[in-house]
Structure 1
Amino acid sequence: MSRRRRKALPSEPVRCVIETLSHDGRGIARDNGKAQFVDGALPGETVMAKFTSTRSKFDELRAVEVLEADDARMTPPCDFADLCGGCSLQHMSGESQIRFKEDTLREHFAHFGGIEPDEWVAPMRSPALGYRRKARLGVKYVPARESVLVGFREKRNSFLTDIDRCVVLDPRIGDRITPLRELLHGMDAYRRIPQVEVACGDDSAAMIFRNMDPLSDSDRQSLIDFGQAHDLHIYLQPKGPDTVHRIWPETGEERLSYDMEEFDLTMKFHPMDFTQVNVDINRNMVHRAVEWLDIQPGERVLDLFCGLGNFTLPLARSAGQVVGVEGDDAMVVRGRENAELNGLSNVAFHGADLQADFTAQPWAAEGFDKILIDPPRSGAQEVCEYLTAFGAKRIVYVSCNPATLARDAGVMVRNGYRLVRAGVMDMFPHTTHVESMAMFERVDN
């Protein structure tokens, strides 16, 4: 049986008039009613664009020339912005990026039941470059170039972008892409290291090398020498996440740390732990969450999806008792370590399945006055159904996905809460990620 041949794409660029922006940051044009999604184009612009794929209901294109530019257009700060998939909005001004994210949140609230907060708060901003403290960098040896590439995937394909630095990553990592490439190219295992994870604390940064095979003594020494030369902690990961181990420095605790001076806290974490990528936004986000919850002396507070205690411990500075609950047992241990490190005795950390009804757990028996929830992208629809059992006066929801926040807000409103205020946080400048925070109050307060 013959294979159906894929239809050849038009070779010549076409003229596109951009009407609006999709939630993934692509300009949207129309060709006889058919949607055209155009990378690198902004609303109000006219561009020439080349086809990258075509389907029955829509086409995908990439802008190759801007005929009429919108005022929001700016020159990307990164030389690789047109190709690299790490960022998608570097051609858009910072103010326009924020408006786009605010509009996205508004649209999702409206879509899920016509919900709108009583108050929209000012967006939370941070420096747009050098902010990213965590990332996974791909590694690939390319025989045709006789070179090792290190970086993020290209836009809409699996190839690695050929970069020599990254202005969005913390400079301790972003300025070392070229020496990292040179290191990997000189190793015996240059074909067998597919990724390098990076994590930064306030005082130290780490690289975790995924080695598919045991390393030779010379390769191991090369990594140690690299760590010494660039003041980096060096880890290996021969198999799954449980096999991650440090080889440099040879002694000391396998921890990085960040401070929250406002609360007189030091938070320690393993480089593979989940932490927020943007330390400035994180500090401001925690401040806002504590302010919105308005903890009074003696109150019991519940922190769901608490991780290593990023919100739990700051809340404990004001509350009578804080209970942090997390589904990852390793993070429960980390939370307890941080509570002990900071001398906090009014905090308890528990592991629990947060997809199940936990209201009968012993730690939940006394109820809670205030609740903070910081779920993953999938949200917390089931959890929101259970929360009303505690009768908390106020709930703050920290979100990394406007769609699931809006969905869960509908559950909260249906169950007797009012959406008092909401706003976006620019945790990932130059990307379409929309992080936000919402505050709910019980209607009968």
Structure 2
Amino acid sequence: MVEESFQRIGKLDVDVGWADDADFRLGYRTRATFQHRDGAWGFFESGSHTVVDIPACPLLHPKLNAAFELLRGSRANQSVEITVNPEGDEVLVWTSKADAKLETLFPMYNAAGSGTKRHRFMFDGIPVVNGLFSQSSLVLNRVLRREVERQIGEPASLLDLYSGTGNLSLKYAESCRVVGIDHSGPAIMAAHALERGEYQVGDETRFSELILQEPWDVIVLDPPRTGAKRLLKALGKAKANRIVYVSCDPATLARDAGQLAKTGWKLREAVAVDLFPHTVHIETVCRFER
């Protein structure tokens, strides 16, 4: 699927590698959003808003299934996001509207707009914050990070675009200059609170300014599914030695890779990372060099 997208959309012939963790084919998800409708608890049926009622899911970590079982008995009447620490006791619960029942059941509960401090826990040195993006599997995120770190190497300076809470860059802040930027104020606050690296809030205009600000050793980016189209002009002019691009969508990745190739960037390596076993979804890590 990834190779075909590179060929068809990006006009690039690429041999794509593979990375996974055979120990986590099941029970790997540590975060999920559970839907509730007409008395049913579970997930939306593909292509619809019909909720498929399930007692548990084999892809969920046992601690997440246990939290879901508790949720099913709560009589809550809205979608609920739950994130568990697979190596600790923390259970983060997030909803769009306040729910007193959930607040009683789950000590680490937050509702959007409540004004209360978001609950969080640390995992592998990264803050996992209630209501903010994190990979759906904290255990398989280790596979992703290992692959990204292999492609980054030992940088002298690092610019992290769409940094979130610093998942791909906080590690390097102890050994080199790291600047991270993201749209999300709460995510940047969580990264900044660790007092490692320089993390700031900004949009793609500011992203582009930072890209051109100095000759970065490495630029790493992990954009949303829509890709990094708005950054391609700046990336094409960047004086960086290396770009490491992480993508959850082969089509937009191939589009952007094709455009980067037209500005002199060469795709040296691409690796598909199986973050979502038993699904059609895939994460891809690419390294570009001049």
Question: 1:173: how far off?
Answer: 2.0
Report whether the alignment pairs 1:155 with 2:12.
no
CA 243–302 in structure 1, closer or farther in 2 if over 3 Å, else same? same
Gaps of 5+ in 2: none
CA deviation profile, 1:193-229 (whole Å, cap 9, x unmatched): 22111112342112234547x74xxx47xx52x33xx
Question: 1:154: how far off?
Answer: 2.1
TM-score normalized by structure 1? 0.60
CA 432–197 in structure 1, closer or farther in 2 if over 3 Å, else same? same
Q: Given that residues 110 and 130 in structure 2 are in contact (C-alpha distance below 8 angstroms), is that contact kept between their aligned partners in structure 1?
A: no
Question: 1:371: how far off?
Answer: 1.0
Q: Which residue of 1 aligns with 2:257?
A: 409
Q: Given that residues 112 and 410 in structure 1 are in contact (C-alpha distance below 8 angstroms), is that contact kept between their aligned partners in structure 2?
A: yes
Amino acid in the other structure paired with 2:29: R
Report SS of the residue matched to 2:269: strand
Report whether the alignment pairs 1:309 with 2:166.
yes
Give matches, 1:111-130, under 5 Å.
Answer: 111-117=8-14, 119-126=15-22, 127-130=24-27
Q: Which residue of 2 aligns with 1:235?
A: 109
Runs of 4+ in 1 over 6 A off after TM superposition: none
CA deviation profile, 1:45-90 (whole Å, cap 9, x unmatched): xxxxxxxxxxxxxxxxxxxxxxxxxxxxxxxxxxxxxxxxxxxxxx
CA 209–377 in structure 1, closer or farther in 2 if over 3 Å, else same? closer
CA 208–245 in structure 1, closer or farther in 2 if over 3 Å, else same? farther
Q: Given that residues 286 and 314 in structure 1 are in contact (C-alpha distance below 8 angstroms), is that contact kept between their aligned partners in structure 2?
A: no
Q: Take 2:142 and 2:63, find their aligned partners in 1: how far apart are those partners?
A: 20
Report SS of the residue matched to 1:276: coil
CA deviation profile, 1:330-357 (whole Å, cap 9, x unmatched): 222111113x2xxx3xx21122211x36
Report SS of the residue matched to 2:44: coil
Q: Given that residues 25 and 278 in structure 2 are in contact (C-alpha distance below 8 angstroms), is that contact kept between their aligned partners in structure 1?
A: yes
Report whether the alignment pairs 1:390 with 2:238.
yes
Give matches, 1:264-413, under 5 Å.
Answer: 266-296=125-155, 299-318=156-175, 320-338=176-194, 340=195, 344=196, 347-354=197-204, 356=205, 358-360=207-209, 365-413=213-261
Which residue among 28, 48, 53 is the counterpart of 1:131? 28
RCO greater where, 1 or 2, for CA within 8 Å and sep 6 or more? 2
Gaps of 5+ in 1: 1-103, 143-147, 185-189, 228-232, 247-252, 260-265
CA deviation profile, 1:282-324 (whole Å, cap 9, x unmatched): 112212212212224xx22111111101111123344x31111
Amino acid in the other structure paired with 1:330: P
Report SS of the residue matched to 1:375: coil
Q: Given that residues 281 and 425 in structure 1 are in contact (C-alpha distance below 8 angstroms), is that contact kept between their aligned partners in structure 2?
A: no
Which residue among 119, 122, 139 is the counterpart of 1:257? 122
Which residue among 101, 105, 113 is the counterpart of 2:2? 105
Amino acid in the other structure paired with 1:324: G
Q: CA RMSD in A?
A: 2.4
Report SS of the residue matched to 1:152: strand
Q: Take 1:399 and 1:194, find their aligned partners in 2: how far apart are those partners?
A: 30
Question: 1:359: how far off?
Answer: 4.5
Q: Which residue of 1 aligns with 2:65?
A: 174
Give matches, 1:178-193, under 5 Å.
Answer: 178-184=69-75, 193=77
CA 162–295 in structure 1, closer or farther in 2 if over 3 Å, else same? same
Report SS of the residue matched to 1:110: helix
Q: Given that residues 419 and 439 in structure 1 are in contact (C-alpha distance below 8 angstroms), is that contact kept between their aligned partners in structure 2?
A: yes
Aligned length: 287
CA deviation profile, 1:129-186 (whole Å, cap 9, x unmatched): 111111110112x3xxxxx3211012333221121112212211213434432232xx
TM-score normalized by structure 2? 0.89
Q: Given that residues 261 and 267 in structure 2 are in contact (C-alpha distance below 8 angstroms), is that contact kept between their aligned partners in structure 1?
A: yes
Amino acid in the other structure paired with 1:197: E
Q: Given that residues 290 and 314 in structure 1 are in contact (C-alpha distance below 8 angstroms), is that contact kept between their aligned partners in structure 2?
A: no
Q: Given that residues 301 and 368 in structure 1 are in contact (C-alpha distance below 8 angstroms), is that contact kept between their aligned partners in structure 2?
A: yes
Question: 1:270: how far off?
Answer: 1.8
Report whether the alignment pairs 1:165 with 2:56.
yes
Report SS of the residue matched to 2:243: strand
Q: Take 1:402 and 1:270, find their aligned partners in 2: how far apart are those partners?
A: 28
Q: What's the % identity of the aligned pairs?
A: 29
Q: Take 2:172 and 2:237, find their aligned partners in 1: how far apart are those partners?
A: 22
Q: Take 1:120 and 1:288, find their aligned partners in 2: how far apart are those partners?
A: 13
Amino acid in the other structure paired with 2:12: I
